Amino acid sequence: MSSDRSAMIILANQRGSSARTAGDTATDDDGHAMHALASRLYPICRSLTGAGVRETLALLSEQVPLDVHEVPTGTQVFDWEIPREWRIRDAYVQDATGRRVIDFGQSNLHVVNYSRPVRARLRWRELDEHLHSLADAPDRVPYRTSYYNDTWGFCLAHRQRLALAAQGDEDEYEVVIDADLVAGSLSYGEVFLPGESNDEVLYSCHVCHPSLANDNLSGMVVATWLARWLMDRPRRLSHRFLFVPATIGALTWLCRNQSRLGQVKHGLVLTLLGAGERLTYKRSRRGDAEIDTAVSHVLRQGGRPHRLLDFEPFGYDERQYCSPGVNLPVGCLMRHLPGEYPEYHTSADDLQLIRPEILADSLAACRSIVEVLEANRNYVSLCPCGEPQLGRRGLYRAIGGESGRADLERAVLWLLNLADGRHSLLDVAERAQLRFDLLARAAELLLERQLIRRQEDGLLRPSSHC
Amino acid sequence: MSSDRSAMIILANQRGSSARTAGDTATDDDGHAMHALASRLYPICRSLTGAGVRETLALLSEQVPLDVHEVPTGTQVFDWEIPREWRIRDAYVQDATGRRVIDFGQSNLHVVNYSRPVRARLRWRELDEHLHSLADAPDRVPYRTSYYNDTWGFCLAHRQRLALAAQGDEDEYEVVIDADLVAGSLSYGEVFLPGESNDEVLYSCHVCHPSLANDNLSGMVVATWLARWLMDRPRRLSHRFLFVPATIGALTWLCRNQSRLGQVKHGLVLTLLGAGERLTYKRSRRGDAEIDTAVSHVLRQGGRPHRLLDFEPFGYDERQYCSPGVNLPVGCLMRHLPGEYPEYHTSADDLQLIRPEILADSLAACRSIVEVLEANRNYVSLCPCGEPQLGRRGLYRAIGGESGRADLERAVLWLLNLADGRHSLLDVAERAQLRFDLLARAAELLLERQLIRRQEDGLLRPSSHC
Amino acid sequence: MSSDRSAMIILANQRGSSARTAGDTATDDDGHAMHALASRLYPICRSLTGAGVRETLALLSEQVPLDVHEVPTGTQVFDWEIPREWRIRDAYVQDATGRRVIDFGQSNLHVVNYSRPVRARLRWRELDEHLHSLADAPDRVPYRTSYYNDTWGFCLAHRQRLALAAQGDEDEYEVVIDADLVAGSLSYGEVFLPGESNDEVLYSCHVCHPSLANDNLSGMVVATWLARWLMDRPRRLSHRFLFVPATIGALTWLCRNQSRLGQVKHGLVLTLLGAGERLTYKRSRRGDAEIDTAVSHVLRQGGRPHRLLDFEPFGYDERQYCSPGVNLPVGCLMRHLPGEYPEYHTSADDLQLIRPEILADSLAACRSIVEVLEANRNYVSLCPCGEPQLGRRGLYRAIGGESGRADLERAVLWLLNLADGRHSLLDVAERAQLRFDLLARAAELLLERQLIRRQEDGLLRPSSHC
């Protein structure tokens, strides 16, 4: 009883406030550790396939028990085929004086990702057809790919391109992309944390972008730290983390795990989590899945600035998880939308753009969402006709008429009222407009006193319905 | 035809206005008579059990055919047990000079209701631990109970408490609560007015508060006058009025009438109906029951200021009627919410607070709700393919093209259009945004002309569906 | 591929704009031709039955393949009976000097339509009881009917009536209505344009008003021109145009075609389409029928000012098509509502009131609605697990990362995502907030590439669901 009372006192002042749960906080240490890992991952030249992804997965496996899968080039994956591996060693454009005016060694963004090998001497106007730059952001190097088109190119700052163009077309440039496109395999990583139940939560982030920090290192490090946190916790649900090359990696996992898809009860694509004040959640294609309600509840009750958006078939790998023949309940947690922030897909999406405290806030929100999914169950009242007498069980204020009703008491009454097996704890929290953790605490108290049972536990003692 | 015409003229100017039905008015006489009854009930010291409730029920039975039920102490009622009877004779605090500084004889609010007996001499600081007062309303005596806690106490004005405290702790006080808590019975009253149908409307008000006028005398007198009005009317539905001690009384009735609960088609808890400008309706747990629509229709169409609130498991006995194993379609009609008006649960909730004209307005609203419930049925068109020819039946304006279409004609056309057996008269009124009584009149006219039938009457003659 | 590209370029700038489809335009020629036809129809004295309707149908049959049906007087039609034919030859009021002060020869509005024959000499006050005029529009002659009342009357400008009244009651007037009410038949016209499917669209307009232009010539000419346009097009659906006397004509068609009603999948009553800036759509009784969505989509996406109204059982023949035993998905497309414009049912509803460009705009909207109904189907993805690889099929931008995503590409992705057989093209357009014609174009592209199939075509090749 005294412990209940103290719980009531602790919680009494929190209604309407934006207090967060224990899980919904992440320390500065977490933020800095995630940023440090991002810093180690940043220089690696990732692509759809090849050494960059493997090196990336190796670094992640220092933090979490990561299984690496290799799928050979040419394997059919639904409508697609596993592409060749891109092995790049060097790439540059050298002017007549022997100076490297564009150099892969300085930034892996300088080469159009997945370019075919080239060795040629070209005049400026010939070379210029293969250059990409941003006229309206003249100091940034754009990020370009050519995954399913057989071509090559270089990316550079527009200011530099104009300077080179001013030199005229007299000289020839030596153009070298020292790369191979060869049969090999596609690599992806998977962390599986089993729980009491086979029902699982799927987390997915892409690992195929080279030196870009927010898109995609932020998703990778938040997913990794979320997995680390879950490793140490008792788990009702199983949790599966996928570290996959965009599109083809998600398709590959789906194709190889078709018999398992029924177990995926909730899912989140994690991306763009290192910059931007507010969190953004894009709902699953279903729109009213439990994950959709859970995330909106956490964002709203946590008092965070946030946005909720309906599904649309553009964006990240939710496109694949929400394709019509798959239709998993997978949403996408971001801060910005792709293309919404000016540094998107340019050299300015770097380690300065992503901030430790923002990464920590994203991690905290993820933890809070997981707490809801883990604790969300349906309960059945064992005393459904009229209210049970809470007073003699220490669940009700002692002197009738005193003002001030603790929110935990409200949560207890709401849960009892809706414990008909048709309402989950999250449903109750939403209808009562109370925080989920209060309902979870109420459920604990009522379970201890045998006033409710978990629906899946079946009937412990006959409940006397009228 | 001439009678229809005159009906059209009478009703023609009422659309959009807030005209009320015949039942939705109550005379000043009603208001004063209800207030007079409240004045007789006011001095009685009611509690959960005991003589106060019995005396109260005896006074009510002068007005309506009331059956009084007695349920012995110790009887199990779902999760609860009928408590002992509280028999109080006298209670006071007397100072060293022999003066009664707190005296139950002056107001029954001075004793914490259901206090255990006490006879003691106490110093001020010992006594003070058992006193209750309101620092922010220093002239009012609070109302306190201790039903399920074995304790005792006195209530007094905070100003008086401060004055006593100023006298210091030198003197001793003689403290007497001359009461018994003994085996006896719980009493409740029931008025049953049978109708053509076994389907019934349940009205419930609590009868356990001592000298408090709005909470709970107002509910008792409005319920009594509503029953008196219904006694003289033909009734399609049966109507049952419960006068019960809060919580335990409602639970007791539910427990003893479990086999009858399926007949309860609508219900209202009536309380706090004597003060406050606007009516407040708290929906049933179901939220979309017929009673919920009926009350909102009456409040809106009657042009009254009002509030509609969703169910929550706090408040009055709707908590019990809407518990998950019972889940009756019972809402709560009030004016203020409990705790919302400053006089709530204090000595200022007295006979000056409740006003005859407010009681009369509450009664009028209740009558109007009953009129809707009584007349609400589903109809089936006997001429469903195309419109019937209204002109030759005197239901349509004679010269085509004349402006001014009577609302009754609109009601006739709407009812014919929606007389498919799936729409109740109230559904039609809501969709057509017309007053219910217009639809009820339209139904009478169409029944007379055999253009519709009551759905429950089955098929009188084959209706020619296309 | 190049054709796709050009399609993308053409369509790229249209998102959010109010661009209209090819069908959703009508030339000035159309407007003037419709107005010219209205001018020929204007002088005819139409009524529920008789020569006026027959002459009208004869003129329409010069434009479209019209079947004329004759149904004998006395035939039972649901609750009604086909009335006698009204054959009017002449009608006038002649003063003592032999001057015709009211003359049917000048305007057929001067006689109350369907008046019984009269030959009498009357004093002013006797005559005045049979006169109709408009005090608040003193220069206009009102339109009045007396279809189901055995009476007679004349209509005139209020100013003239006052002038006549000023002459006093000395003189007698010779009053003549040279007409017969005799057994004959009711006439209505029907244009049936068969399509690939038996599913049909019903269009209905009334043809019983005499010299009134907006009410009802505008509906007749727009319906006729819509039928002309449809005659030259391939048609998936069948289309049926009804030209019927109001109420009794619609009832007659319904009664004679009961076995066919199941084939009517969509319908529109067309009326009041020649004046007024904005289009008005009154939904079917169902409220959420495909026609309701199609019209609201066209009006919204076409960028037109417009109004959407819920069904109510007043207005035109939608009353009959939406009676409860019929309940067809028939809405009503208008500009004004009846009675909403000051010229309604007066001599001012003339050929100056209706304008060629307004008729053309109404026709354009109708065409656009038909285009939606014709192209609206459900599709099933043949590549439902993950997205198909659009790049190698020329459906995706070549270089990843380039900005600017064509709306056609968006339409392609949305359609693939919702091609689960449960979403029609219109559903996809509404959810994606894209124009229907973009979705229709996307469907063509995806059909060509065998990425989707029409749901009704069954399984062409096994679709590999996960």
B380 phi and psi, to 5 degrees?
-125, 130
- As a whole number, mean pLDDT of residues C56-75 equals 98
Residue B263 burial (10 A CB sphere; 0-12, 13-18, 19+): middle
pLDDT-derived band at A459 (thresholds 50, 70, 90) equals low
Instruction: Report the pLDDT value the prediction gives residue B1, as an integer from 0 to 100.
Output: 29
Of C391, C418, C466, the CB nearest to A258: C466
Q: B336-342: long-range contacts (C-beta < 8 A, 24 or more apart)? A: B336/B214, B336/B272, B336/B275, B336/B276, B336/B280, B337/B272, B337/B280, B337/B309, B338/B215, B338/B271, B338/B272, B339/A403, B341/B214, B341/B275, B341/B276, B342/B137
Q: Which two three-digit tokens encode residue A345?
A: 């897909």
Q: Which two three-digit tokens encode residue B333?
A: 């009609």
Q: C416-446: string of b/e by CB count within 10 Å (b at 16+)?
A: bbbbbeebbbbbbbbbbebbbbbbbbbbebb
Q: Provide the mean pLDDT of chain A.
A: 91
- Comparing CA positions, the residue from B453, B424, B448, B426 lying closest to residue B437 is B426
The reply to whether residue B142 touches residue A401, judged by beta carbons under 8 angstroms, is yes
CA distance A375 to chain B (A): 22
Cβ atoms B147, B83 nearer than 8 A: yes
A446 phi and psi, to 5 degrees?
-75, -30
pLDDT-derived band at A28 (thresholds 50, 70, 90) equals confident
pLDDT tens digit string along C149-199?
889 999 999 999 999 999 877 789 999 999 999 999 999 999 999 999 999
Instruction: Report the pLDDT value the prediction gives residue A22, as an integer from 0 to 100.
Output: 60
Instruction: Report the pLDDT value the prediction gives residue C395, as an integer from 0 to 100.
Output: 83
Question: Is residue C341's pLDDT more than 50?
Answer: yes
What is d(CA C27, CA C35) in angstroms, rounded to the nearest whole number?
13
- Comparing CA positions, the residue from A138, A132, A82, A143 lying closest to residue A109 is A143
Of C387, C413, C419, the CB nearest to A320: C387
Question: Is residue A380's pLDDT more than 70?
Answer: yes
CA distance C65 to chain B (A): 28
Instruction: Report the pLDDT value the prediction gives residue B392, as an integer from 0 to 100.
Output: 85
* CB proximity under 8 Å: A 416-445 to B: 416-420, 432
**What are the residues whose beta carbons fall under 8 Å from the beta carbon of A144, sequence distance 6 or more?**
A112, A113, A132, A153, A155, C399, C400, C401
pLDDT tens digit string along A66-87?
999 999 999 999 999 999 999 9
pLDDT-derived band at A18 (thresholds 50, 70, 90) equals very low
Q: What angle do CA C246, C250, C255 make, to 5 degrees?
A: 150
What is d(CA C154, CA C428) in angstroms, rounded to the nearest whole number?
56
Residue type, A62: E
Asked if B257 reaches chain A (Cβ–Cβ under 8 Å), the answer is: no
Which chain B residue has its CA at the smallest distance from A407's CA? B314
Per CB-CB distance under 8 Å, the chain A contacts of C419 are: 324
Instruction: Report the pLDDT value the prediction gives residue C300, as an integer from 0 to 100.
Output: 94
Q: Which two three-digit tokens encode residue A212?
A: 């870009």
Give the pTM: 0.90
- Comparing CA positions, the residue from C78, C268, C267, C317 lying closest to residue B384 is C78
Cβ atoms C243, C220 nearer than 8 A: yes
CA distance C344 to chain B (A): 10
Q: What is the ipTM of this complex?
A: 0.91
Q: Which of A300-309, A367-376, A393-402 bottoms out in mean pLDDT, i.e. has the lowest?
A: A393-402
- As a whole number, mean pLDDT of residues A17-42 equals 80
- Averaged pLDDT, groups of 10, chain B, 466 residues long: 30 39 72 98 96 98 98 97 96 94 96 96 96 97 90 97 89 94 97 97 98 97 98 97 98 97 98 97 98 97 93 97 97 96 97 97 97 97 95 69 65 96 97 95 94 82 53
The reply to whether residue B386 touches residue C80, judged by beta carbons under 8 angstroms, is yes
Instruction: Report the pLDDT value the prediction gives residue A3, as an integer from 0 to 100.
Output: 33
Asked if C455 reaches chain A (Cβ–Cβ under 8 Å), the answer is: no
Concatenated DSSP letters of A266-315: EEEEE-S-SS-SSEEEE--SSSSSHHHHHHHHHHHHTT--EEEE---S-S
Which chain A residue has its CA at the smallest distance from C432's CA? A312
Which chain C residue has its CA at the smallest distance from A253's CA? C386
Instruction: Report the pLDDT value the prediction gives residue B18, as an integer from 0 to 100.
Output: 43
Asked if B401 reaches chain C (Cβ–Cβ under 8 Å), the answer is: yes
Instruction: Report the pLDDT value the prediction gives residue B11, as an integer from 0 to 100.
Output: 30
**C-alpha radius of gyration, chain A, whole number:** 27
Question: Is residue A228's pLDDT more than 60?
Answer: yes
Q: Which two three-digit tokens encode residue A101?
A: 């005016």
- Whose tokens are 């019975």? That residue is B185
The reply to whether residue C383 touches residue A146, judged by beta carbons under 8 angstroms, is no
3-state secondary structure of B101: strand
The reply to whether residue B148 touches residue A392, judged by beta carbons under 8 angstroms, is yes
The reply to whether residue A387 touches residue B323, judged by beta carbons under 8 angstroms, is yes
What is d(CA C441, CA C408) in angstroms, rounded to the nearest whole number?
8
pLDDT tens digit string along A394-429?
887 644 444 435 789 999 999 999 999 999 999 999
B366 phi and psi, to 5 degrees?
-60, -45
**What are the residues whose beta carbons fall under 8 Å from the beta carbon of B388, sequence distance 6 or more?**
B416, B451, C78, C79
Instruction: Report the pLDDT value the prediction gives residue B14, as an integer from 0 to 100.
Output: 34
Asked if A314 reaches chain C (Cβ–Cβ under 8 Å), the answer is: yes
Asked if C385 reaches chain A (Cβ–Cβ under 8 Å), the answer is: yes
Of A144, A149, A251, the CB nearest to C386: A251
The reply to whether residue C324 touches residue B416, judged by beta carbons under 8 angstroms, is yes
Neighbour count for residue C341 (Cβ, 10 Å): 19
**Beta-sheet strands, E only, within C51-156:** 67-72, 76-77, 80-81, 85-94, 100-103, 118-123, 131-132, 154-155
Per CB-CB distance under 8 Å, the chain A contacts of B319 are: 387, 413, 417
Asked if C314 reaches chain B (Cβ–Cβ under 8 Å), the answer is: yes
